[in-house]
A = this chain, B = another copy of it.
């Protein structure tokens, strides 16, 4: 007997049939004797249709009105799911973000949750009801509707689990869990039974895509045990918690990768103290997300800075740099497209020197040239040519023996 928060994303509630399927997953949990809070996203492509409508009204709709518009999506899903649960004889009740007491900052489109007022939800849970909450949305102190930005429903679920001191937060998705690497590319990819918050954070940030980094961070801070699992298959998923004792001997836990990267190099900068901050403040002010950054000092008076961006941002990045050429005071810009980032992640790395060296050796053995490198305590990222990406991932997956199950599965 406990409290479980379940989250179902847009693809899991994309049609009437899928919502009926979700209602079964909810009922199974309820029948196990648990209290259940369900967080749902908008139905499949409904957000896209709303965005398309908005674009017909205005070139750049105000973010406040976009939030007003988009939050209707989850409101539709919560009512439909609740109807389905009621039709099957269960007491259920739906709440929008504001009704569920999800308070946020006064920022439209990308607000953070500041507080959850749980009195109402607790009352309904106590009455034995299944509580269905709209993900992705909240309310400011002034009564304005806000959205939480990308991965918002994950964040709603984790935040509710933290506020209600739930035993677990289950993130249902269209894959059976977190894999050692993307199974669509590497057929020996293996589902992980467990993974730590930090490892998941690195994987999430590196584009593994199953879970939003913000939600993982929230879960880590509030020690919410997460499970990423399939909304259609009745199998155990991947547990994400502080320690992952069952696989703790694994040095490398997973491999993340991402294509369509571009390297931008700003050459001939004066190597002053403020050069780095000036260049990246300028880019941040223009909302350009920079990934890996490398600075190489070639001689005492000059320096080059390389960084990677998504290829779609490349031309905008170059434009911004050219606009501020006088301020930044550089000689020229070089760009290289068709790159990919491949990263190995694992908390065992900290105590195992030579992991990065082994990675470089594997890549070299496969004739793959490394163009950029970036490391953290639990990950090593390399930037290579896009055409080498899958070959690199397969070789690393083999070399670090990720397809082997080293411990008993639960």
Contacts and interface: CB of A to CB of B under 8 A. Distances in A.
A106 interface: no
A295 B57 CA distance: 58
A357 interface: no
Given A86-B62, A99-B143, A143-B99, A54 B69 contact: no
Contact of A79 (B16, B54, B76, B78): B54
Contacts of A68: 75, 78-79, 82, 94, 96
A76 B83 contact: no
A407 interface: no
A59 interface: yes
A60 to B, nearest CB: 8
Contact of A65 (B19, B20, B61, B86): B86
A58 B69 CA distance: 26
Interface in A45-97: 50, 53-54, 56-59, 61-62, 64-66, 68-69, 71-72, 75-76, 78-84, 86-87, 93-94, 96
Number of copies: 2
A380 to B, nearest CB: 46
Most chain-B CB neighbours within 10 Å: which of A54, A80, A94, A144? A80
B72 A54 contact: no
Most chain-B CB neighbours within 10 Å: which of A59, A78, A94? A94
A101 B96 CA distance: 17
Interface residues of A, number: 38
B99 A83 contact: no
A281 to B, nearest CB: 30
A79 B83 contact: no
A263 to B, nearest CB: 38
A120 B94 CA distance: 27
A57 B84 contact: yes
A101 to B, nearest CB: 10
A62 B87 CA distance: 9
Given A94-B68, A143-B99, A58 B75 contact: no
Contacts of A58: 83-84, 86-87
Contacts of A79: 54, 65-66, 68-69
Contacts of A56: 16
Contact of A57 (B57, B59, B61, B83): B83
Nearest to A80: B57
A223 to B, nearest CB: 31
B57 A20 contact: yes
Nearest to A50: B76
A70 B237 CA distance: 36
Contacts of A54: 79-80, 83
A8 B403 CA distance: 62
A20 B87 CA distance: 40
Contacts of A145: 96, 99
A121 B204 CA distance: 43
Contact of A69 (B20, B65, B75): B75
A102 to B, nearest CB: 13
Contacts of A144: 99
Nearest to A56: B16
9 contacts: A16-B53, A20-B57, A53-B76, A58-B83, A65-B79, A65-B83, A66-B79, A68-B75, A69-B75
Interface of A: 16, 19-20, 50, 53-54, 56-59, 61-62, 64-66, 68-69, 71-72, 75-76, 78-84, 86-87, 93-94, 96, 99, 120, 143-145
